Structure 1
């Protein structure tokens, strides 16, 4: 009799139990992955675990399930698979990949700056863990690029809140948000605007020395940025003058949009048992 699992209120059909060679189960699952049949691939890899729980094939199948769930946009299941592998095999060389797929799942759940950024914080923590644990791997190289994007997202959230405070007359609260961007996210694309907003906010409070100082920092680091041109005009209109003349009107940085292109994600490491590679009818996916 076919077995059925239940997840999220929906029945998920599973393979009918029939004892089969582990090589056949594993390679059929790999073949389904190559075809993009993610749910079927998961079924076969789960069957490998069920029928051959203490084998190298079983260990490898957990990672393959994580990747298949990720490709199907089933992020909670992919994260659960990755965490299960980390708990069971923390010292295994493939644990680096489990950490990576977990971080990517959080990364792809990041939403626009106008909404809650819980996934953004989780993504940043997971990406940093990869860089710290596995600094010389391809996973760390990809994580470093994504950390920059995540920081830009978090800075954008601070700017959104800061602007709202400024529009509503809560200048001190706005200054706190803009200062966070300058102090914590100073390499992001939002820093020039944050410095401009600080000058603007301090002028509102009558703190001309602080306003001029932030304008000077903006001019020194971003002399050709349009935000500095605006700051220069604002300060000189009040009889103040930062130290640097504006050098033009261009942006200091260009924001990098989030791209969720799964084809660019690093695939599971090629550590399947040798017998899998010898089956010409169903090869495991290449790295």
Structure 2
């Protein structure tokens, strides 16, 4: 009797969980997943997309499910899982007709993850945030616009690339300002120079040139100071920085109120 109970117990331990979708066709699962996602029920959609991806492996439906699953993960805040899905998709399907969307979604996830892009509205300190997400977003959008210039996603990707550049430049200038205020003039000049050389089209370059000029002045490097002032005058002839001193650097430029 004891042996029979033991065998029954071992049998129960070895059983697998019942598949709640075992009686649902893969086509119906996919349709249900899309419906759940359209209604904002992303957790429910994820369960179904995962089943579609597994059951329809090797088909176009599975590829589509992978991308929609990545988007659902993104909408539920599972950034790492979303990016992992996209990276796997790009690696396994380099000739997919949906590759442009994969790059766009990859960029979008990193773009929205980086508070440096719009975090200034909430008065958060740029120096406390890692801008790697911005760089990753830029690279994804760059892949999209270079490889698929006529993609429906390319125009928006270009706009977001401009936002990324401005964010990265603003981050460099913020750090330069931080160093200047603390008397680390060489470090301030170097970070400002990075903004000028790498992000020439960004509005933040104006302040970067000003910080360079003031830093070189404090370091008693008149030629470098004069060069920075000359470029500032040429590039921004109406700049307020030309008539203001260190008080301009102390102003929190990112505050709107």
Same fold (TM over 0.5): yes
- Please name the residue that 1:65 is paired with: 69
Q: Going by fraction, where is strand more abundant, 1 or 2?
A: 1
Q: How many residues align?
A: 226
Q: Going by fraction, where is helix more abundant, 1 or 2?
A: 2
Matches within 5 A, 1:158-237: 158-230=172-244
* Alpha-carbon spacing, 1:3–1:128, altered in 2? closer, same or farther (3 Å): farther
- Please name the residue that 1:154 is paired with: 168
Please report how far the alpha carbon of residue 145 of structure 1 lies from its aligned counterpart in structure 2 after TM superposition: 1.3
Relative to the length of structure 1, the TM-score reads 0.71
| 4+ residue segments displaced more than 6 Å | none
What is the alpha-carbon root mean square deviation over aligned residues? 2.6
- Please name the residue that 1:80 is paired with: 84
- Does structure 1 residue 122 correspond to structure 2 residue 136? yes
Please report how far the alpha carbon of residue 20 of structure 1 lies from its aligned counterpart in structure 2 after TM superposition: 2.6
Unaligned runs of 5+ in 1: 5-14, 235-253, 258-287
C-alpha separation in 2, matches of 1:25 and 1:78: 20
C-alpha separation in 2, matches of 1:100 and 1:53: 23
C-alpha separation in 1, matches of 2:173 and 2:136: 20
- Please name the residue that 2:157 is paired with: 143
Unaligned runs of 5+ in 2: 1-14, 117-125
